[in-house]
């Protein structure tokens, strides 16, 4: 069985977050969705659990940060092309996301990012492995 990853993110308004990510084209596993949480499907092995802040707090005694003021993680997701990167960021902005930084093009790698409605940082990246610079030994 392939290793799976479940990223847990605290959200202020679960329904609003579901609507936002639906506009980006993501779907949700109804089996793991209720008024406290949902399981957003990124791929066959990558999932994001969007949890209400109150529910998220039951899993830790640490303070849950306000992602608009501090960063707890940067989620990086691959895309098939530069155009696909831009398309996803454009969809996010149309749905209410903000752009913290301009896109960066390294030739062999292109990245662009947005902060979602709760301030979580999402990075979309396209890479051409054949164009990567060779490391000097």
> Which pLDDT value is given to residue 132?
66
Residue pair 38/61 in contact (Cβ under 8 Å)? The answer is no
> Which pLDDT value is given to residue 130?
80
Q: Bridge-partner residues for 75, per DSSP?
A: 122
Which CATH superfamily includes the segment(s) 1-59?
2,3-Dihydroxybiphenyl 1,2-Dioxygenase, domain 1 (3.10.180.10)
> Which pLDDT value is given to residue 135?
63
Profile the chain (137 residues) by mean pLDDT over runs of 10 residues: 93 98 97 97 97 96 94 92 97 98 95 97 92 65
Domain 72-137: assigned CATH number: 3.10.180.10
> Which pLDDT value is given to residue 1?
82
The whole-model pTM stands at 0.88
Same fold, 1-59 and 72-137: yes
Domain map (residue ranges) of the chain: 1-59, 72-137
> Which pLDDT value is given to residue 40?
98
Q: Which is it for the CA torsion 21, 18, 98, 120, positive or negative?
A: negative
85-89 long-range contacts, Cβ below 8 Å, gap at least 24? 85/110, 85/111, 85/112, 85/124, 85/125, 85/126, 86/112, 88/24, 88/124, 89/113, 89/114, 89/124
């Amino acid at each position: 069985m392939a290793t799976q990853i479940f990223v847990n993110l605290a959200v202020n308004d679960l329904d609003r977050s579901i609507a936002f990510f639906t506009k980006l084209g993501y779907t949700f596993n109804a089996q793991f969705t209720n008024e406290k949480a949902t399981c957003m499907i990124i791929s066959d092995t990558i999932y994001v659990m969007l949890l209400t802040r109150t529910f998220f707090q039951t899993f830790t005694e640490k303070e849950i940060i306000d992602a608009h003021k501090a960063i707890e993680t940067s989620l990086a997701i691959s895309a098939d092309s530069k155009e696909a990167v831009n398309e996803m960021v454009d969809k996010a902005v149309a749905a209410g996301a903000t752009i913290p930084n301009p896109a960066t093009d390294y030739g062999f790698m292109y990245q662009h990012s947005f902060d979602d409605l709760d301030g979580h940082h999402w990075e979309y990246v396209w890479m051409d492995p054949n164009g990567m610079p060779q490391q000097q030994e």
